[in-house]
Amino acid sequence: MDLRIPPGDIDLLAIGEVLIDFISEEDVPSLGEAETFRRYQGGSPGNIAGNVARLGGASAIIAKTGIGAFGKFCKAELKRVGVITDYLVMDHRVHTSVIFVSRTTGTPDFEAFRAGDAELTPDEVSEEAIQRSRLVHASTFALSRRPCRDAVMRAFELAQRHGKLISLDPNYSPRVWPDQREAMAALQKLYALATVTKPSLDDASRLFGEGLQPEAYIERFHAWGPRLVVLTMGKNGVIVSDDGHVTHIPALPVTVIDATGAGDAFWAGYVTSLLDGHDPVFCAHVAQAVVAQKLQRVGPLPSSVDRQALYLQARQTMRPTT
């Protein structure tokens, strides 16, 4: 795919949820077995913005929190790693959203307590921020409630108008969005504007049903609009479909300590490499190298990650693929 990289002084602008993650100290399959938790700044868009900054990129966030201790903590953590917080809305009328998450080597269990993140309005989406950006990214979690869903739609419409790349993470969960018919309709509308997407196999099966082959899931996403589909499959690696040209990339061998946030680490590595002008398959090798670092530690990536070292590692690990 001949992907035109637009200009801008912000590499990635994420829109959606910034919240508090309470992640269990124990490695447990369900929250009911956890006893102690540690606080982290969370929310997939916020995590991706933070990871892009850790990789040396310029990132910004549009989201809403409260003005209390949790909102201040989120803003401070984002600023600490270099995320531009000029467009973060802190509102005295709302509380900061909170999620409890199990630490696990597999798919984490979670329970969400939604508040301020869902209250972001279209009027709070800065067109200046869109104009400054190269790629605009959002998650399905953010779409599950209004008015935030309408805010994301406005951001995508502005991004398309200004010729920006548009990325959507279909991290659909029926526990967050029980009305699947409504979710599918909203996703189709947004995917009509999207350029790239990163579904996991879990995401795809929740949306389209279990039992399909990976290539069939990929075709479903292409039919909705994105030209570039990157399907992550955990230990089975990644499939990159570049306008229908499919490449399978095996997973790197790694000892998994904590899988929480792995998808966000992967996508930050991928889009950072993509915005540097690399081809979609090479970007997946870079993303694999980033996620390997995340999987071997509890919590987020290190505060600074050597991007050039990742590119070197990706070149060294590239081998014939099918």
Q: How confident is the model at residue 154 (pLDDT cuts 50, 70, 90)?
A: very high
Mean pLDDT of the chain: 91
**Domains in the chain with CATH codes:** 10-317 (3.40.1190.20)
Phi, psi of 89, rounded to the nearest 5 degrees: -95, 120
pLDDT score at 322:
45
Percent of the chain with pLDDT over 90: 70
Place of tokens 């999620």: 99
Sign of CA dihedral 261, 266, 267, 273: positive
Helix (H) or strand (E) holding 11, with range, is strand 10-15
Residue 145: pLDDT above 60? yes
pLDDT given for residue 105 in this prediction: 65
pLDDT classification of 9: cutoffs 50, 70, 90: very high
Residue 280 has pLDDT above 90, yes or no: yes
Name the DSSP letter for residue 84: B
- Tens of pLDDT, residue by residue over 201-224, are 999 999 999 989 999 999 999 999
**Does residue 2 register a pLDDT over 70?**
no
Please state, in angstroms and rounded to a whole number, the distance separating the CA atoms of residues 169 and 17: 13
Q: Tens digit of pLDDT for each residue in 77-117?
A: 999 999 999 999 999 999 999 999 887 666 778 888 989 99
**Mean pLDDT, residues 265-286:** 94
Residue 321 in this model has a pLDDT that exceeds 60: no
d(CA 21, CA 86): 22
Q: How many CA atoms lie within 13 A of 7 on its CB side?
A: 0
Length of the chain: 322
Q: What is the pLDDT of residue 261?
A: 78
Predicted pLDDT of residue 262: 85
Q: Report the share of the chain in percent with pLDDT over 70.
A: 97
Residues 49-76, mean pLDDT to the nearest whole number: 96
